[in-house]
């Protein structure tokens, strides 16, 4: 895998890949459930919104590290379909925060050659935010140094139902025969189409569940759970997750061959 950098010409030695990690065995696609913003704030007796603000900084760090270390695709879980059930004030703050971040960070993302996509039911988002998303998506569409997918108003079950409906409509219209439906055709209709399935899922804050995230795509992903709360997720935490990943034997349901002579 070719090593890439987050910013053109940037060779910051502090961002170098740790010597004990194999650059040829890094994930092609990293998925992250960014959990623990609220608990981070509560532990410090701060408003929950402060945790979300610090969570944005953690995402910026991770994106930079993916660029420097050579991880070409990153998908993050920013706002689920269930998150609308949170207090109205918190939801309104999050919508405003998404818009603010897009305004402030778009130039840097463009210069860093990051392709930005938002995955989910975007029509339910505030119109102003939808406009910023459309502008950012169009402006960065031709980049490929790091591909960042931000799952916003996303639910894995909803995604699968939408694909099933699309295929059912094609069958009803005579475009497709039922026997023509296979895994490849199904996967090509997913929101992540064009990216390989994630090799590694990281969930912060110590929770052991995937919370309706990428239900199809995570079928064979390795899973790393860390007690680190998302705002504290840093270079050391990512390195720990990658070391864990590189210790795994990825068999995809097969049996690992025994060494010769045993």
Task: Confirm whether residue 230 is marked as ligand binding.
Answer: no
The answer to the question of whether 183 is labelled as a binding residue is no
Is 177 known to sit in a ligand binding site?
Answer: no
- Is 61 known to sit in a ligand binding site? no
36 is in an annotated binding site: yes
82 is in an annotated binding site: yes
Residue environment code for 110-132, b if the CB has 16+ CB neighbours within 10 A, otherwise e: eebbbbbbbbbeeeebeeebeeb
Sheet holding 146-154, edge to edge: 114-119, 146-154, 73-80, 29-33, 200-203, 222-225
40 among the known binding-site residues?
yes
Parallel/antiparallel/unpaired status of strands 200-203 and 114-119: unpaired
205 is in an annotated binding site: no
159 annotated to a ligand binding site: no
Catalytic sites, residue numbers:
35, 83
Ligand-binding site membership of 37 (annotated): yes
81 assigned to a ligand binding site: yes
CA distance 133 to 139: 10
35 annotated binding-site participant: yes
- Consult the annotation and say whether 80 binds a ligand: yes
> What is the C-alpha separation between 124 and 107, in angstroms, rounded?
26
Residues belonging to the binding site are 35-40, 48, 52, 80-82, 84, 86, 203, 209-211, 222
Residues belonging to the binding site for Mg(2+) are 35, 222
Residues belonging to the binding site for substrate are 36-40, 48, 52, 80-82, 84, 86, 203, 209-211
């Amino acid at each position: 895998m070719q090593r890439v950098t987050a910013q053109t010409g940037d060779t910051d030695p502090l961002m170098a890949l740790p010597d004990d990690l194999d650059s040829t065995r890094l994930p092609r696609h990293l998925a992250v459930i960014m959990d623990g913003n609220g608990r981070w704030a509560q532990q410090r007796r701060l408003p929950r919104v402060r945790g979300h603000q610090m969570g944005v900084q953690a995402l910026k760090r991770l994106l930079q590290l993916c660029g420097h270390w050579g991880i070409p695709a990153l998908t993050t879980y920013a706002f689920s379909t269930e998150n609308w059930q949170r207090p109205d004030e918190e939801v309104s703050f999050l919508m405003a925060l998404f818009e603010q971040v897009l305004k402030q960070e778009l130039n840097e993302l463009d210069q860093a050659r990051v392709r930005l996509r938002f995955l989910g039911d975007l029509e339910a988002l505030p119109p102003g935010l939808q406009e910023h998303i459309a502008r950012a998506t169009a402006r960065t569409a031709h980049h490929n140094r790091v591909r960042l997918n931000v799952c916003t108003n996303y639910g894995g079950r909803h995604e699968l139902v939408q694909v099933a409906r699309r295929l059912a409509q094609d069958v009803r219209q005579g475009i497709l025969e039922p026997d023509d439906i296979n895994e490849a055709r199904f996967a090509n209709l997913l929101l992540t189409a064009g990216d390989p399935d994630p090799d590694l899922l990281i969930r912060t804050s110590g929770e052991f569940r995937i919370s309706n995230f990428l239900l199809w795509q995570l079928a064979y992903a390795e899973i790393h759970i860390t007690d680190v709360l998302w705002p504290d997720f840093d270079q050391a935490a990512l390195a720990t997750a990658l070391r864990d990943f590189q210790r795994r034997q990825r068999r995809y349901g097969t049996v690992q061959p025994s060494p010769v002579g045993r």
